[in-house]
Amino acid sequence: MCGIVGYIGPRKVIPVLLGGLTKLEYRGYDSAGVAYLDNGKIEVIKEQGKLDNLREKCSGIETDNTLGIGHTRWATHGAPSKINSHPHLNGSGTIALVHNGIIENYVALKEWLIKKGVKFVSDTDTEVAVHLIDHFYFGDLVSAVRQAIEMLEGSYAFAVISSNEPDRIVAVRKDSPLIIGKADGENILASDIPALLEYTRDVYFLNDNEIVEMKKDSIDFFDIYGTRIKKQTTKIEWDVTQAEKGGYDHFMLKEIYEQPRALRDTFSPRLKNGIIDISEMGIDDDFIKDLKKITIVACGSASHVAHVGKYVIERIAKVPVEVDIASEFRYRHPLLIKDQLVIVISQSGETADTIAALREAKSQGVKVAAVVNVIGSTIAREADAAFYTYAGMEIAVATTKAYDTQLLSMYMLAYAMARTRGTISEEEYDRAVRDLSLLPEKAEETLKLKEAVQRIAYERFMDEDVFFIGRGVDYALSMEASLKLKEISYIHSEAYAAGELKHGTIALIEPNTLVVAIATQEDLIDKTLSNIKEVKARGAYVVCVTTEKYRAKFDQGVDEFLILPEIADIEAPIITVIPMQMLAYYITLNKGFDVDKPRNLAKSVTVE
């Protein structure tokens, strides 16, 4: 979950490295560091804390050197500290390395290296890698890296430089992302696309166990056996301004307001002559008609998308759906069947547990489709087919527009499958297509709840406990609403199926406890109202999220309303999430915390 950048070319290297790390800071902000060659010697600068600390330390340093590597850290092994920060050096200071991932057998390797006289200075697993490369180094950095990784177990992306070979950067990946940017007379590598876009749109995506030797005017690739291999570049079309705040105070707020555009960009290309085209999923009509089961696998917010997806696919397309948390999927030894589809969902396409689940499904011969935002990512490449969400770059750690476009993708899949399977009438299908096409407008209208949300956030930001309740798709949406609040405001928050309150949870309701009740489903309104009355009887302060047509039902039972635009009940989660995102944002703002960089979290979880 750390961020890596490396550059070789004619520019001054420190500003390039700091600029790249700025674009990658969402991947980790416990510490940061750079290593560069200056007068034939490797110089290292690193600082604990956010990137600004490193930037201040680097100010005033004058060097014309044009080769270096940088790192922004999310701590796994060893506490956040200057010593544990990357880059790490070998004993003689002639090799520097940065690392994203986890080396699982580092303890055994460390003991082996200590017996050979190596002295360690940090608590990290990463330092093992640089000493191991040094052990195998006899003038050929590519060869040393290749021999070292044969002994490593776990996940890693390394970028390595040596003062003995001052014209190259060597890098390798296994289960951690690494992208190589090709430009004229300069080349750059990074963990994610935003760090490259200032310099090039032509990139190479490394596969597992591929090694790259990057010079300023050449890029060569090798397999684990040292055999040279050829790779094709991919053109990245993302708008570079998406990596800038564009006048907003935070990326999260900007990305909340980008949701109408993201929904439009995701839906419009798939609507062809009034028909939703899901051919990108790699499933034809015969497969859909014979489909016996769908398993949706994801982590975090994407798993909440999966739960909504289960409701809508089962209801509309009449296909049984089970949802698995990716980190549990392969460890429960899943039994997959013929005529089954596995769908994996990931914003980054590099989520380690989701990649492992994908590989488990493929090992059982089951077709795997990916819903993913990043073109060329590992999940997109390894799945049988990729259905891209066109959210664009998402920088804030807490997902907003990526979540909503994933949600829309589930609806497109449900309606397309229902039409093929004959479980929906033409009239119902046409209504659904019309409603989905209006979602960007509905999202724009929902954003007008800003002032009402701000008022609630100001009144309630000191709460220590918040509960979200709902039924059906409203419960699935409540899980995401709760996660948004807890991950950035650090308020203890839970989501419960409203009908489960009396089975224990209601014991936690005290006078003035904030309960957010989401109620958008006509067939469940009366049931949810009963649950609201239950918590009100215990003194809860209730905020009800509903539509105008249901408001009268709750007038006597709640303290505040957030009234959504009129929308078909089944599609309500796509806009209901917007005020929930805004509530988390404004509560966090009132608490004075960093909205974009919540503690202990990173954007892309590339380790188990």
Catalytic residues: 2, 603
What Rg, from alpha-carbon coordinates, does the chain have? 25
Per DSSP, which regions of 108-200 are E strands?
154-162, 165-174, 179-182, 187-190
Q: What angle do CA 231, 233, 238 make, to 5 degrees?
A: 150
| DSSP state at residue 175 | B
Give phi and psi for 483, each to the nearest 5: -60, -45
Q: Which residues contact 123 (CB under 8 A, 6 or more apart)?
A: 77, 78, 79, 83, 84
Q: What is the C-alpha to C-alpha distance for residues 560 and 540, in angstroms, rounded to an integer?
A: 12
Q: What is the DSSP string of 280-345?
A: GG---HHHHHH--EEEEEE-HHHHHHHHHHHHHHHHHH---EEEEEHHHHGGG-----TTEEEEEE
Q: What is the C-alpha to C-alpha distance for residues 20 and 193, in angstroms, rounded to an integer?
A: 10
Task: Determine if the peptide bond prior to 15 is cis (ω within 30°).
Answer: no
Closest by alpha carbon to 347, among 385, 373, 371, 328? 373
Q: Which residues contact 238 (CB under 8 A, 6 or more apart)?
A: 193, 197, 392, 393
Torsion of CA 432, 437, 442, 443, to 10 degrees: 120
Give whole-number Cα distances, 80 to 46, 71, 92, in Å. 12, 13, 24
End-to-end CA distance of the chain: 10
CB 389 within 8 A of CB 402: yes
The SS3 assignment for 234 reads strand
Query: Does an H or E element contain 38, and which?
Result: strand 31-38
| DSSP state at residue 596 | S
Give whole-number Cα distances, 435 to 262, 279, 429, in Å. 16, 21, 10
Query: Does an H or E element contain 24, and which?
Result: helix 13-24
**Residue 469: CA atoms inside 13 Å, Cβ hemisphere, count?**
29
Q: What angle do CA 432, 437, 440 make, to 5 degrees?
A: 130
CB 77 within 8 A of CB 124: yes
Q: What is the C-alpha to C-alpha distance for residues 13 and 68, in angstroms, rounded to an integer?
A: 6
Q: What is the C-alpha to C-alpha distance for residues 18 and 69, in angstroms, rounded to an integer?
A: 10
